Amino acid sequence: MRHLISIDDLTDAELRRIVDRGAEFSAGPARRALPLDGQVVGVYFAKTSTRTRTAFSSGSLRLGGSLVSYGPGDLQLNTGETTEDTGRVLSGMLDVLVARTAGPEAELRGWARQGTMSVVNAMTAEEHPTQALTDLTTLVRHFGRVEGLRILYTGEGNNTAAALALALTRFPGVHFEVRTPPGYGLDETIVRRARAQAARTGAALTERHDMEELAGGYDVIYTTRWQTTGTSKPDPHWRTLFAPFRVTPALWGTSPNAVFMHDLPAHRGEEVAAEVLDGPHSIAFAQATNKMHSAMAVLEFVRTANGPQAPATAPAAGRELVAAR
């Protein structure tokens, strides 16, 4: 039984193992394994989700598990039950809880204070670790590696950017260049943790608050939506600050071979031009599909002792149960 609440919960070897396993699932042959046969996965989303919720739900069923789904109004957290009490109750009935709260990470740490149920972070305010694992899986599928890639990230220094900074700096030779509007950069604690890792591995993390003097020669140009799920911006003029960070075809002038990535949903004409998202450089929708493959790797990791499992001789059908309070 393991938890995955932050990228920092993983050793280097574990991170690579999940990413490589996600790439194996993406390639196809590994899907016959049923390591969750007989186990029950709870999926709780307090905020909206298309890709992450579907990825973990579909991934659980494909791995042989059964599924209990909770919406934002289903748990007694809404009536004042403590996080720890909810975790203790659910741990007597579930093997895994995949949760998106968009609140502080401490909520998930509270659920993890029991000894039987794995807790997986499907997005908190600080970090979106399963998105970063999806992105690294996509890089391995496209480039065959993560090491040595040059990645430009533009837009808000949000929970996706934080998880990417913590994950990419584990890989030697990676250059992760972050360009964010003033006042919307990466949290300083994330920068310190990522740069400490980069010093150890030979990676590099840089951050600026303009779009001047871009180095070019990027392998990947990445952005996210400007209005992060579950958040709002107090400045009524924030769009003016963000406008220079829009991903347009001009960015390919010095990086003609770069691919475009986006964690979706996308707002064409805001953070990315339609001709980029829908153009030949975009791998954003393959990236979205890989969210399921990466979710399967995460579920296998948190519930099995030794990683990849042998193919099952007889399939076991999963069952989806709709939760009641």
Q: Tokens at residue 280, please?
A: 């030949």
- The pLDDT value recorded for residue 230 is 62
- The pLDDT value recorded for residue 236 is 85
Q: What does pLDDT average to over the chain?
A: 91
Query: pLDDT class for 324, splitting at 50, 70, 90?
Result: very low
List domains and CATH numbers for the chain.
7-127+291-322 (3.40.50.1370), 129-286 (3.40.50.1370)
- The pLDDT value recorded for residue 310 is 37
Please check the confidence at residue 183 and state whether its pLDDT lies above 80: yes
End-to-end CA distance of the chain: 26
Beta strand ranges found along the chain (DSSP E): 40-45, 66-70, 96-100, 118-121, 150-154, 175-179, 204-208, 220-223, 259-262, 320-322
- The pLDDT value recorded for residue 305 is 66
Please check the confidence at residue 321 and state whether its pLDDT lies above 70: no
B/e letters for 68-83, b = 16+ CB within 10 Å, e = fewer, are bbbeeebbebeeeeeb
Query: pLDDT class for 316, splitting at 50, 70, 90?
Result: very low
Task: Report pLDDT digits (tens) over 209-220.
Answer: 999 999 999 999
**Closest by alpha carbon to 227, among 159, 273, 127?**
159
Task: Report pLDDT digits (tens) over 78-106.
Answer: 888 988 898 999 999 999 999 998 789 99
Please check the confidence at residue 229 and state whether its pLDDT lies above 80: no
- The pLDDT value recorded for residue 30 is 57
* 72 or 229: which leads in pLDDT: 72
- The pLDDT value recorded for residue 309 is 43
Task: Report pLDDT digits (tens) over 20-78.
Answer: 999 999 998 655 668 999 999 999 999 999 999 999 999 999 999 999 999 898 988 88
* Mean pLDDT (whole number) for 145-159: 97
What CA–CA distance (Å, rounded) separates 302 from 80? 29
Q: Are 150 and 217 in contact (CB under 8 A)?
A: yes
* 322 or 49: which leads in pLDDT: 49
* Mean pLDDT (whole number) for 260-281: 97
Percent of the chain whose pLDDT exceeds 70? 91
